[in-house]
Chain A
Amino acid sequence: MSTNKPLVEDFATDWDHTDPQWVANPYPIWEDLRERCPVAHTNRYGGAWFPSTHEGVSRIAKDTENYTSRSVVISNLRPTDEDLPAPIGIAPPITSDPPFHAIARRLILPAFAPGVVNALEPQIRALCNRLIDQMGSGDIVNGGTQYAQYIPVGVIQQMLGFPEDDIEIFLQIVMDVLDAIDLPAAERQARGDVNRAYFEAQVQDHIDNPRDDFTSYLLNVEIEGHKLEMDHVLGTILLTLVAGIDTTWSAISSSLWHLAHHPDDLARLVNEPELIDMAVEEFLRFYAPVTMARLVAKDHDFDGCPMKKDDWILLGFPAANRDPKVFEDADTFIIDRKENRHVAFGLGIHRCAGSNLARLELKVAIQEFIKRFPTFTLEHPNEVTFAPGQVRGARNVPIRVK
């Protein structure tokens, strides 16, 4: 992906979030930038800015006048005003701006409210145990590819009410969607068409046989007396895949990776199970997986930086979470950190709609794993890999369980 790009020498003037150094360990880079150049610039991607302080990230996240969410993933292709099926955007509400955003968001929030989501807990526990059973009785398991990855895939599939027998098809579609950015346009189009046909078939099945799930919910819900257009329904289904899967998967696998090489934290969590809620928030702060993007909506000055319309902004929630001005010992993982105002789920109007679900998945995934394996260690530390790009998390996590 980034192999043919020149390596970055100075992240203050030429940063790239796909540079191998950033992918492997971004934290020292952000620390340096915070002190030296809190709003870094790059000419890559046609021009982009990166604020690394909590204050800078917050200010931009809450400002929907100067920044648009029309595109939230940085690429070399910059969508213009015409590229988007206004006012819906590709995947409402994440790609929507006010005032349409509020309508699209209000529509999905009831399906993600704590009362609804908490009812999924027994299902998620059962799923985790099934996955652990399937890993067999070997000495070594993979916390990423055998466990973390399948949890959100299974949860979203159940939530959408898609057939359980389709899990492999579903996983393939998820991979296609997540990898799409790196594919040539023609192939992307071809795969997109196949996947769209699959979703349309599932939606048709829900039209014919309505049931109690998120897909039927989207088909029934109304905006001012009107049902949603098919593109809106499909766009929101797509959003749950993109927003709900590799994000949560990353959070789970990074947390298991941490526990596998921090035996003290593992022992505390096993011996003091009541710490789990605080631990989950600290995992989310410390290994926050999601970085979002904005486009500058109009020329303006930001702390002396001349931001131009259509410049990208990389909105580093994970960097904000390491800002020592807001977090004591910001670069230390403290499993029972009591004051933890982290922003892993973003800030302002786009606050992660799935945050209650994500928290529940992360909590249950850790609880069930450590219940089955109260002691485990990292098997080949050098083989651990991290996903590049705007969703960061451990991918290959070989763990010795006995």
Chain B
Amino acid sequence: MKVVINADACTGQGRCFGIAPELFDFDDLGNGVVKGDGVVPPELEEKARLAEANCPEHAISIEA
């Protein structure tokens, strides 16, 4: 599993790095960025799904 942020849709609502700081960080403007290569270790899969489900801008996608 891998998480991806669509930077055009992200407006920095900050839910992803609030829910899963292991997977997401923020830049100087407060927009969300994926940490590293975005590959999700099995123990964080649930958090990744929750981050996706809470982003108000639908900016996060999960790839198999």
Contact = CB atoms under 8 A, between A and B. Distances in A.
Interface of A: 106, 109-110, 112-115, 277, 281, 338-343, 345, 347-349, 351, 355-356, 359
B17 A114 contact: yes
Contacts of A109: 12, 28-30
B14 A355 contact: yes
Given A339-B50, A351-B11, 10 more contacts: A106-B29, A113-B26, A338-B53, A339-B53, A343-B56, A347-B11, A347-B56, A355-B12, A356-B30, A359-B18
A355 B11 CA distance: 11
B54 A339 contact: yes
A356 B11 CA distance: 12
Contacts of B56: 341-343, 345, 347
Q: Which 3 A-B pairs have the closest CB atoms?
A: A351-B11, A113-B30, A109-B29
Contact of A113 (B28, B55, B57): B28
A110 B28 contact: yes
Contacts of B27: 113
Contacts of A114: 14, 17, 26, 30
Nearest to A105: B29
Interface string B1-45: 000000000011111011100000011111000000000000000
Nearest to A344: B56
B30 A340 contact: no
Contact of A348 (B11, B17, B26, B55): B11
A284 to B, nearest CB: 11
A321 to B, nearest CB: 10
26 contacts: A106-B29, A109-B29, A109-B30, A110-B29, A113-B26, A113-B27, A113-B28, A113-B30, A114-B26, A114-B30, A277-B18, A277-B19, A338-B50, A339-B50, A339-B53, A340-B54, A341-B53, A341-B54, A341-B56, A345-B13, A347-B11, A348-B11, A351-B12, A351-B57, A355-B13, A359-B14
Residue among A110, A341, A359 facing the most chain B CB atoms (10 A cut-off)? A341
Contacts of A106: 29
A395 to B, nearest CB: 27
Contact of B13 (A110, A339, A351): A351
A59 to B, nearest CB: 13
B57 A112 contact: no
A355 B28 CA distance: 15
Nearest to B57: A347
Contacts of A349: 11
A172 B62 CA distance: 49
A277 B16 CA distance: 12
B46 to A, nearest CB: 10
Residue among A106, A340, A349 facing the most chain B CB atoms (10 A cut-off)? A340
Contacts of B30: 109, 112-114, 356
Contacts of A115: 26
A327 to B, nearest CB: 12
A83 B28 CA distance: 34
Nearest to B27: A113
Contact of B55 (A112, A277, A281, A341): A341
A347 B29 CA distance: 16
Nearest to A320: B56
Residue among A106, A114, A115, A340 facing the most chain B CB atoms (10 A cut-off)? A114
Nearest to A340: B54
Contacts of B18: 277, 359
Contacts of B11: 347-349, 351
A29 B30 CA distance: 36
A114 B32 CA distance: 11
Nearest to A106: B29
A159 to B, nearest CB: 16
